[in-house]
Amino acid sequence: MINTMNVSHITDLLSDHFQYKSQLVLNDISCKTDYLTFINATLKAIADSEVDVQAELGRYGHLGDCVIVMRGGSMSIPNVVLAKVENNHLTLLEGGCPEFCVNSG
């Protein structure tokens, strides 16, 4: 999604009761429709800014796999996103602390 700036390929993977939690947003998002509105606006802002944003897989300590999102190249301070999956649908994306993340790639 971040690498392509397109949410269409994750839309069907989101649970109807999907939640997004992050220190970067004031209030948690607690439904699929609100998240899609938020992330589409976010992707548009990123595209309009012409800042290079990349995402890649990593490991987050004992919690397992995560996505590392970096702005401005690999030397930037990354954001880490943890995901929870139930019944083959994403139910939660949550921002984490990058200090505990190791690039797997």
Assess if residue 53 is contained within a domain. Answer: yes
What is the CATH classification number for the domain harbouring 47? 3.10.450.50
pTM: 0.76
Assess if residue 105 is contained within a domain. Answer: no
Taking only the tens place, the pLDDT of each residue in 47-85 is 888 888 877 777 777 666 777 777 766 556 667 777 888
CA pair distance 43, 10, nearest whole angstrom: 14
CA pair distance 28, 22, nearest whole angstrom: 7
The CA-based diameter of the chain, rounded to the nearest angstrom, is: 37
Assess if residue 30 is contained within a domain. Answer: yes
Domain count along the chain: 1
Nearest to 46 by CA among 90, 7, 98: 7
Taking only the tens place, the pLDDT of each residue in 7-60 is 898 899 999 999 998 877 788 999 999 999 999 998 898 888 888 887 777 777
pLDDT value, residue 14: 92
**Token duo for residue 98:** 């990058």
The answer to whether 23 touches 2, Cβ cutoff 8 Å, is no
What range does the domain containing 35 cover?
A: 11-97
Assess if residue 48 is contained within a domain. Answer: yes
